[in-house]
Amino acid sequence: MKRALIVFGLVVIVGLGGGLWLTQPDIYFEDDLAGLTGDAEAGEAVFWAAGCASCHAAEDAEGEARLLLTGGQAFPSDFGTFRAPNISQDPIHGIGTWTQVEFFNAVQNGISPDGSHYYPAFPYTAYHLAERQDIADLYAFFQTLPASDVPSEPHDVGFPYSIRLAMRGWNFLNMPDGYTVSGDLTEEEERGRYLAEALAHCGECHTPRDGLGGLDRSRWLAGAPNPSGRGTIPDLRPDALGWSQGEIAAYLNDGFTPDFDAAGGHMTSVIGNMAELTEADRNAIAAYLLALPNGS
């Protein structure tokens, strides 16, 4: 019996060790980013495309107030309620002391400066696909933003989802190694794919999820239940949406549908982001959406 327990213990230890080795996260080091400098002006466009203000500004913020990234918005889910943290330039309550490599690891790998894992309510799995130069530019733009000394609010997430180390396994299963939509795309469609999949993270809301909260990429942008429990988030595939490229691009600029309805809920903030992009980029996103495969 004693021998069996020893063997069992060794198997468990080896299994845990193997699991930790297999799921070790991608990490940037200083040498990986050597010589990479950002441009704040270019970073502003990345900021709006990536939707930073939609989650981290006050819920009803408008105009310049959207640049004060105090956090606090609540995002309900099947796993608990997540609250956006303060990511302003405050050195104590925000990210004012973060280095460029710490910023990269947070945004693209979901790893905090102290080595702990962020929850994927922060869409680092999408940002993982972003170009390094864009993230460097975004970091440079963040340096120009105001500070807020409002403390971040804690998440309301119960056991076992509160075990952050478990995110290593989740990331192993769900971190993308490439775009979801592939095939023979035009240059405009490729630009739209980059904006929609890597920066604007459209799939985070518009794609259904599996039992562990990972995106069901076989039903990419096919619509999903609203995590708030109120209604559903629309299917964006061409046959379901039924809009032209011009109609989609116009909606992304002003929030009005072809039927003269208006965007509501969280999409109002998303439209505010999209309106800051160039007309060419809005048209590129529209072209990408029209290149999606239709539903079955």
Asked if 224 contacts 89 with a C-beta cutoff of 8 angstroms, the reply is no
Q: Residue 56's pLDDT is what? A: 97
Q: What is the pTM of this model?
A: 0.89
Q: Residue 295's pLDDT is what? A: 80
Q: Is the pLDDT of residue 211 over 70?
A: yes
Q: Which residue has the higher pLDDT, 80 or 15?
A: 80
Structure tokens at 27: 């990490």
Q: Name the residue with tokens 């116009």.
A: 250
pLDDT, tens digit (0-9, with 9 covering 90-100), for 153-198: 999 998 888 889 999 999 999 999 999 999 999 999 999 999 999 9
Q: Which residue has the higher pLDDT, 292 or 9?
A: 292
CA distance 254 to 34: 40
How far, CA to CA in Å, does 71 sit from each of 58, 139, 193, 249, 274? 6, 18, 28, 29, 20
Q: Is the pLDDT of residue 21 over 60?
A: no
Q: Residue 246's pLDDT is what? A: 97
Confidence of residue 24 (pLDDT cuts 50, 70, 90): low
Residues of the chain with pLDDT > 90, as a percent, come to: 77
Confidence of residue 16 (pLDDT cuts 50, 70, 90): very low
Q: What is the longest distance spanned by two Cα atoms in the chain?
A: 74
CA distance 295 to 293: 7
pLDDT, tens digit (0-9, with 9 covering 90-100), for 266-281: 899 999 999 999 999 9
pLDDT, tens digit (0-9, with 9 covering 90-100), for 218-258: 999 999 998 877 788 999 999 999 999 999 999 999 999 99
Average pLDDT, the chain: 90
Asked if 187 contacts 260 with a C-beta cutoff of 8 angstroms, the reply is no
Q: Which residue has the higher pLDDT, 138 or 77?
A: 138
Q: What is the mean pLDDT of residues 23-52?
A: 91
Q: Is the pLDDT of residue 97 over 50?
A: yes
What residue type is 268 in one-letter code?
T
Q: Which residue has the higher pLDDT, 296 or 206?
A: 206
Sign of CA dihedral 73, 253, 242, 284: negative
What are the b/e assignments for 30-66, b being 16+ CB within 10 Å? eeebeeeebebebbbbbbbbbbbbbbbbbeebeeeeb
